[in-house]
Amino acid sequence: MTTVISSPEQASPNAAFLNALGPALDTVAIHEKAAGMARYMKSTMPFKGVPSPAVRKTVRALAKEHPFSSVAELLATVSHLWDEASYREERYAAIMLTDSKLGRGEPTLLPFYAVVIRTGQWWDYVDSVVPRLCELLQRDRTAMEEVLREWSTHPNFWFRRAAIISQLAAKSSTDTQLLSEVIAPNLADREFFIRKAIGWALRQHARTDPVWVRHYVAVHEEQLSPLSRREALKQL
């Protein structure tokens, strides 16, 4: 169903980075917080107890110490981290690695983002790859518009959520026609994470174009859920 974007050549993961990550996360873990973090995230995968800012700082330091030689190596590493993770922070690290000079706007990482959405199926994972989707859209609108339209009708609602909020960071570059198109097939959906996503996407665009958002809400008044409408107009 999803538009195929070619992958880079096969490469081995960055072993030095992988070997250093676990011990580095252990040094900044607040172990007594791990159980609470898992409860909050409703996660069956355990946490080490590392706050997200500390994970990001650790990932950046290790990537500088053990640099990646190619996009292919980056993809192999994030895929390995995601598949072999024992702790949720390791999966966060995989996603954070894509927010790098090599990773930002790199279309061959799209299959990895799809894996994150399909197998992660929770808001922390899905929402974390959304900025990367926005970068891909700005780089190649033709290819990514097709992907996002397909995702907007995907049987897995997490793909639909990703499509709806894919332009959160676009600001004045937001394609309102595309935004309308990915919201449309989801207006009647009763899933909380879809209704919240619709409201979030509209509220975010209202920072740039409140007139468009007010008009959209007025036109779709009867179709929007109370939650989506309330979120859309929250700051207007």
List, for residues 89-145, the tens digit of each pLDDT value. 999 999 999 999 999 999 999 999 999 999 999 999 999 999 999 999 999 999 999
The answer, yes or no, to whether residue 7 has pLDDT greater than 60, is no
**Per-residue pLDDT tens over the stretch 137-191:** 999 999 999 999 999 999 999 999 999 999 999 999 999 999 999 999 999 999 9
Judged on CB neighbours under 10 Å (0-12, 13-18, 19+), 48 is: buried
CA pair distance 36, 47, nearest whole angstrom: 9
Instruction: Output the DSSP codes for 151-178.
Output: HTT-SSHHHHHHHHTTTTTTGGG--HHH
CA pair distance 45, 82, nearest whole angstrom: 12
The answer, yes or no, to whether residue 5 has pLDDT greater than 80, is no
Domains by residue range for the chain, with CATH: 1-103 (1.25.10.90)
pLDDT range class, residue 86, cuts 50, 70, 90: very high
> Which pLDDT value is given to residue 10?
84
The answer, yes or no, to whether residue 2 has pLDDT greater than 50, is no
**Cβ distance 104 to 136 under 8 Å?**
no
Cα dihedral sign for 46, 129, 146, 7? negative
The pTM of the full predicted model, rounded to 2 decimals, is 0.94
**Cβ distance 180 to 145 under 8 Å?**
no
User: 3-class DSSP state for residue 51?
Assistant: coil
